[in-house]
């Protein structure tokens, strides 16, 4: 991974997996990677630890073969057991430092945030990237935090610049193709999406469109 302005250059697009069963999860992940996704976060909330571990091993094999960054949501021991590239933790989950003790210093650890204060806490804990949201209402997540919208992203992005804090911040929550330009112009690093990719009939075309917007949009914030 390259460095840019002191921060690691991660993929600007994260795919967060979907599926009610391990079979659905694996199918959706294969499809997303086949379409060109270079970052997968395995999120399988209703699985047993045994189901999740078995799936995590399969996904690890695919991601390694395809050169895809592989993050596991909320399960540090499983992430360690399958040697994933890292872990994503929610606001009410373990602290970043505790996750780091389990996974070590060479793994990526990201954290969810809803406010500037959340981000500052995550940065202080040594977080590698932030999933900031929700952008808008989404059915993917229960107990949704307050909606941020473009203005919320711009306000937080501007404040991070004022405080000279450089950390990759990903917008998350109900994002569609038409939102991406405005999100990037608000000063956000990238996006983390799920349904937009899972349910699209032509994923390769969609990925081309998304990446064009992510990598060619000029940041007009500040």
HEC readout, the chain = CCEECCEECCCCEEEECCCCCHHHHHHHHHHHHHHCCCEEEECCCCCCHHHHHHHHHHHHHHHHHHCCEEEEECCHHHHHHCCCCEEEECCCCCCHHHHHHHHCCCCEEEEEECCHHHHHHHHHHCCCEEEECCCCCCCCCCCCCCCCHHHHHHHHHHHHHHCCCCCCEEEECCCCHHHHHHHHHCCCCEEEECHHHHCCCCHHHHHHHHHHHHHHCCCCCC
- Residue 111 placed within a domain: yes
- Residue 8 placed within a domain: yes
- Residue 36 placed within a domain: yes
Q: Which residues of the chain are modeled with pLDDT < 50? A: 1-7
Domain CATH code at residue 173: 3.20.20.70
- Residue 220 placed within a domain: no
- Residue 222 placed within a domain: no
- Residue 221 placed within a domain: no
| Average of per-residue pLDDT values in the chain | 92
- Residue 93 placed within a domain: yes
Residue 137 is predicted with a pLDDT of 78
- Residue 160 placed within a domain: yes
- Split into its structural domains, the chain has a count of 1
Query: Taking the complete model, does pTM exceed 0.75, yes or no?
Result: yes
Over residues 152-182, the pLDDT tens digits come to 999 999 999 999 999 999 999 999 999 999 9
Q: What range defines the domain where residue 82 resides? A: 3-215
């Amino acid at each position: 991974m390259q460095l840019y302005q002191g921060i690691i250059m991660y993929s600007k697009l994260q795919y967060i997996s979907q599926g009610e069963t391990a079979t659905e999860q694996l199918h959706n992940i294969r499809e997303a990677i086949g379409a060109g996704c270079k970052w997968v976060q395995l999120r399988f909330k209703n699985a047993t630890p045994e189901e999740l571990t078995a799936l995590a091993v399969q996904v690890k094999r695919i991601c390694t073969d395809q050169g895809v960054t592989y993050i596991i949501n909320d399960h540090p021991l499983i992430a360690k057991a399958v040697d994933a590239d890292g872990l994503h933790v929610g606001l009410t989950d373990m602290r970043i430092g505790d996750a780091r003790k389990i996974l070590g210093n060479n793994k990526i650890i990201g954290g969810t945030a809803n406010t500037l204060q959340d981000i500052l806490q995550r940065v202080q804990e040594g977080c590698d990237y932030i999933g900031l949201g929700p952008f808008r209402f989404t059915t993917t997540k229960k107990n949704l935090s307050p909606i941020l919208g473009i203005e919320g992203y711009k306000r937080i992005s501007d404040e991070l610049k004022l405080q000279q804090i450089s950390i990759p911040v990903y917008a998350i929550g109900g994002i569609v193709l038409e939102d991406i330009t405005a999100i990037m112009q608000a000063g956000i690093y990238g996006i983390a999406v799920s349904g937009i990719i899972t349910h699209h009939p032509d994923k390769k075309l969609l990925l081309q469109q998304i990446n064009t917007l992510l990598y060619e949009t000029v940041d007009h914030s500040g």
